[in-house]
Amino acid sequence: MKDSTKNRLVWGVIAVVVLIYALGPVLSILANSFKPSSEFAGGGSFLPKAPTLENYQSIFAGDAKDLFLPALVNSLGITLISTAIAVVLATFAAYAIARLDFPGKRLILTSALAVSIFPVISIVTPLFNLWRQIGLYDTWPGLIIPYLSLTLPISIYTLTAFFQQIPWDLERAAQVDGATNWQAFTKVIVPLALPGVFTTAIIAFFIAWNDFVYGISLTSTSAARPVPAALAFFTGASQFEEPAGAISAAAIIVTIPVVIIVLLFQRQIVSGLTQGAVKG
């Protein structure tokens, strides 16, 4: 009994340390978002001495409005479209890899994993030159296509694990009952794989939502510039003033959708990740 209590105490301390380590930067940014510009001089304190909403007012109705609001719309639109395309394509590709026997499928899966960890910065320059030549620079498609290189490989790799857990006999039984291959896939396999599809969509959304390199390199105006890239163009009231407060406020606003998604669907995320991690 003593050992059990001791173990719980140790794990509780570890959990608190991890939470402080993980949430510390977020709490610091949240505190900075309520600080007036005068409190950033000389380092300042962790908590704001005179809390104010002027930083939030600046990004929604002030000087930073023209930078932040179009960027927020761009981020939402580009991220949702790229996530939807990645999940649909990955669903078909992962099903083929998991269910069909054809030469090179293991190579495809390995290549997908390799592409997902490939350094983005190494292909930005040639992509920049190509996009300028064919007219995709500073456009939504000009970001959606590169985002697929980030979201599609990891989506294929993740969904393949889910499809491998679904019993093959269920699809065969549906076909014996008269269902076509397409009907068996859409009415039997896909509903069973929904936890995995949902989890994959959230992962793909986070990857695209947080991208900075493509956003800053392949855009030049507010026509397609996403929020992470737009934050680099924030300016203070003068050339000698850092816009730390406005950037912090914008970072908090951008983080809210991610936090809401995780809080609302944390059970589905954990369920989907654990199902895909166990091989039957």
What is the percentage of the chain residues whose pLDDT exceeds 70?
90
Domain membership of residue 273 as a residue range:
59-277
Average of per-residue pLDDT values in the chain: 83
What's residue 243's pLDDT?
80
What's residue 138's pLDDT?
93
What's residue 279's pLDDT?
45
Band (118; pLDDT cuts 50, 70, 90): confident
**Which carries the bigger pLDDT value, residue 228 or residue 275?**
228
**Domain for residue 11, yes or no?**
no
- The pTM of the full predicted model, rounded to 2 decimals, is 0.82
**Domain for residue 159, yes or no?**
yes
What is the percentage of the chain residues whose pLDDT exceeds 90?
23
What's residue 162's pLDDT?
83
**Domain for residue 28, yes or no?**
no
**Domain for residue 19, yes or no?**
no
pLDDT at residue 90 greater than cutoff 60: yes
Q: How many domains does the chain have?
A: 1
**CATH number for the domain harbouring residue 190:** 1.10.3720.10
Tens-place pLDDT, residues 136-188: 999 999 999 999 988 998 888 888 888 888 887 777 887 777 778 788 888 88
**Domain for residue 36, yes or no?**
no
**Which carries the bigger pLDDT value, residue 108 or residue 134?**
134
**Domain for residue 41, yes or no?**
no
What average pLDDT does the segment 235-256 reach? Answer: 77
pLDDT at residue 247 greater than cutoff 60: yes
CA gap 164, 159 in Å, rounded:
9
pLDDT at residue 280 greater than cutoff 50: no
**Domain for residue 31, yes or no?**
no
What's residue 83's pLDDT?
94
Stretch among 101-110, 199-208, 237-246 having the lowest mean pLDDT = 237-246
Stretch among 7-16, 211-220, 233-242 having the lowest mean pLDDT = 233-242
